[in-house]
Chain A
Amino acid sequence: MSRLCPFVIIADTTTAAALLQHHPFILCAILVITTAYEVPEQNAFDATFRELLAKTVIIEGKRSLDYLQGLLIYLSWHQTSFRHENAQVFQLLHMAIGKMNVVYAVF
């Protein structure tokens, strides 16, 4: 995957357990995009990803690189979870960039 998305590097030796412990958001994003051929599982992981995003970022207001990297992975394969009815992928992208843009404007 790193060859196709060189913006998030995960070592070959990293296990799923280690990801779950240290980078749960990245693991959840990976599970969403790698279950493209198992629709029920993908829908379940997708729901979990969005719930985790809402809980950590919106409700708890946490900010971490894990969150940004997870969104990067998720949005890089946005075609797997694109929903025409609400185009939420764009909302997620705007939410991430909008927060970055506040500081970027003064840089």
Chain B
Amino acid sequence: MLPELGLISWDGNAKFEVTTQSIDAQRALVGMYYLSCGICVLGTSQPQMLPHGDCILKAAAYITRYGNQPGDKHMMSLVFMMSRIEQVRLSLSSKGNVHGQDPWQRVQREFEELSAMPGLPPWLQTTLLYRYVTF
């Protein structure tokens, strides 16, 4: 379905002609990843159906480079943040302790690192705080 929606090309290469629709398609892909993390992994502990990967990163980089909306320049930060949260959540659910650390200490450390990211927009900070509280 991704090629039909214009999210990737038919040969699998991420070569897009820059159009409004192509940027919209990339936004949709990143948005679906964001929702997948938020609802599946954090909200219901269901398996992550759209895991983090190169496809997501390329889409975020594409939006950051060619997008002209206020939120576009934060897409890489968003993907990075959600992938870190995804990793922490998966590691916590697998063994409890992660590399001998107290899980809550690791979550707190990750939260502090992410909060210290420069230029984090308010809506991302709100999301981050929500995810932290719901852990």
Does residue A5 face the partner (Cβ distance < 8 Å to B)? yes
The interface residues of chain A lying within 8 Å CB-to-CB of B46 are 90
Contacts of B28 in A (CB 8 A): 7-8, 65, 68-69, 72
Complex interface: chain B residues within 8 A of A68 (CB): 5, 28, 32
* Complex Cα–Cα for A7 and B30 (A): 7
* Chain A residues, CB < 8 A from B74: 6
Segment of A13-21, A40-48, A93-101 in the binding face: A93-101
Q: Is B103 an interface residue (CB 8 A)?
A: no
Contact B24 A5 (CB under 8 A): no
A102 at the interface (CB under 8 A from B): yes
Contact B27 A3 (CB under 8 A): no
Please tell me the size bucket of the interface on B.
Answer: 35 or more
B128 at the interface (CB under 8 A from A): no
Q: Mark B56-80, 1 if CB is under 8 A from A, else 0.
A: 0000000000000111101100000
**How many of chain A's residues have a CB under 8 angstroms from any CB in B?**
32
Contact of A107 among B8, B24, B25, B36 (CB under 8 A): B8
B residues apposed to A, CB below 8 Å:
1-8, 12, 21, 24-25, 27-32, 34-36, 39-40, 44, 46, 49-50, 53-55, 69-72, 74-75, 123
Identify the A interface with B (CB < 8 A). Answer: 2-9, 63-65, 68-69, 72, 75-76, 78, 89-90, 93-94, 96-104, 106-107
14 residue pairs of the A-B complex, CB under 8 angstroms, read: A6-B72, A7-B30, A8-B27, A8-B28, A63-B1, A64-B5, A68-B28, A72-B31, A93-B49, A97-B36, A100-B2, A101-B50, A106-B12, A107-B8
